[in-house]
């Protein structure tokens, strides 16, 4: 149990490193999911009324809500108040003063992808042809990462392929997914709030073996 606690503390530190915020506000929690040389990924929870103090990070950070709700966001000198939906994608670039607040009446959860500044940079590649039943649209192109929303109809299946960059996958529907990764195949049910990592140059493909549409956010680490 002690080793688990130590690992959680290390991952939490990776996500929150370089923050100038003096302490985590009451009503806010961070659950580490995984960390490697490119990213630290965690689930952020904000209870109603929770408000951060303005702060900065030494890394860029993508925010993908996995519940819907009302958020007030300070970014630089601008403050916005919006209703965010599951699968929306926002970015806070490194060094930018920011703070979030849950101004709604329900708990807000989001996946946070912190992109490490000292990572090995990824390459670029042209878009892949999409098999029947699969659609994709770009939703964000930032300095350190790009995000795309991919939807697979029941029975749709990708062709096995590789990317010259690391890749974070965030399911945004509760659906069964078949994942082929490095020669192994696993089928399981995913829910919003989970995420997994695909290393660069690793053969992989996803398929929807279920009866409901499957949607995910794919984050390419530049």
Please name which of 84, 87, 112 lies closest in space to residue 28, comparing C-alpha atoms: 112
Cα–Cα distance, 21 to 222 (Å, whole number): 27
Q: Assess contact for 97 and 58: CB atoms under 8 A.
A: no
* Neighbour tally for 201: CB within 10 Å: 12
pTM > 0.85: yes or no: yes
- Specify the pLDDT at position 10: 39
Q: Tell me whether residue 57 is in a domain.
A: yes
14 lies in the same domain as 109: yes
Structural domain for 209, as ranges:
134-221
Which of 85, 115, 145 corresponds to the end of one domain?
Answer: 115
pLDDT at 13 over 70: no
- Whether 120 is covered by a domain: the verdict is no
Helix residue ranges, H only, the chain: 2-16
**Residue 12: pLDDT over 80:** no
Contact criterion met (CB below 8 Å) for 201 and 164:
yes
Domain for residue 106, yes or no? yes
Q: Are residues 101 and 6 in the same domain?
A: yes
- Residues 173, 215 share a domain: yes
**Residue 129 pLDDT level (bands cut at 50, 70, 90):** confident
pLDDT in tens, 72-91: 999 999 999 999 999 999 99
91, 30: one domain: yes
Residues 139 and 90 reside in one and the same domain = no
Q: Are residues 46 and 143 in the same domain?
A: no
Is the distance from CB of 67 to CB of 49 less than 8 angstroms?
no
Residue recorded with tokens 């997914």: 177
Kindly state whether residues 10 and 104 are assigned to the same domain. Answer: yes
Question: Which secondary structure element, helix H or strand E, spans residue 56, and what is its range?
Answer: none
What domain count does the chain have?
A: 2
Is residue 123 in a domain?
A: no
Q: Do residues 215 and 151 both lie within one domain?
A: yes
Same domain membership, residue 176 and residue 97: no
Banded model confidence at residue 175, pLDDT cuts 50, 70, 90:
very high
Closest residue by Cα to residue 98 from 153, 158, 18, 157: 18
By the 10 Å C-beta count (0-12 exposed, 13-18 middle, 19+ buried), 160 is classed as: exposed
pLDDT in tens, 145-168: 999 999 999 999 999 999 999 999
Where among 115, 148, 172 does a domain terminate? Answer: 115
Same domain, 24 and 89: yes
| 22-54 pLDDT per residue, tens | 588 999 999 999 999 999 999 999 999 999 999
Residue 15 pLDDT greater than 70, yes or no: no
- Are 93 and 145 members of one domain? no
Q: Are residues 32 and 99 in the same domain?
A: yes
Eight-state DSSP code of residue 86: T
Which of 115, 150, 183 marks a domain boundary?
115
Task: Supply the CATH number for residue 18's domain.
Answer: 2.60.120.10
pLDDT attached to residue 77 = 94
Q: Could you tell me where the DSSP H helices lie in 35-170?
A: none
Window from 58-62, 107-111, 123-127, 206-210 with minimum mean pLDDT: 123-127
Read off the DSSP letter of residue 26: T
């Amino acid at each position: 149990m002690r080793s688990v606690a130590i690992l959680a503390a290390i991952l939490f530190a990776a996500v929150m490193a370089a923050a100038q915020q003096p302490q985590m506000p009451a009503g806010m929690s961070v659950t580490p999911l995984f960390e490697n040389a490119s990213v630290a990924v965690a689930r952020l929870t904000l209870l109603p009324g929770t408000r951060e103090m303005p702060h900065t990070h030494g890394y860029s950070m993508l925010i993908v809500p996995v519940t819907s709700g009302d958020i007030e966001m300070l970014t630089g000198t601008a403050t916005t108040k919006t209703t965010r939906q599951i699968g929306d994608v926002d970015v806070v670039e490194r060094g930018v003063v920011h703070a979030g607040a849950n101004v709604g009446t329900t708990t807000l959860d989001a996946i946070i992808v912190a992109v490490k500044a000292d990572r090995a940079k990824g390459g670029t590649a042209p878009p892949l042809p999409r098999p029947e039943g699969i659609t994709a649209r770009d939703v964000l192109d930032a300095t350190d990462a790009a995000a795309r929303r991919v939807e697979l109809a029941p029975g749709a299946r990708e062709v096995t392929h590789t990317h010259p960059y690391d890749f974070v996958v965030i399911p945004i529907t509760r659906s069964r997914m078949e994942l082929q990764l490095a020669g192994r195949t696993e089928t399981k049910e995913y829910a919003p709030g989970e995420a997994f990592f695909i290393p660069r140059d690793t053969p992989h493909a996803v398929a929807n073996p279920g009866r409901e549409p499957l949607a995910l956010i794919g984050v390419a680490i530049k």
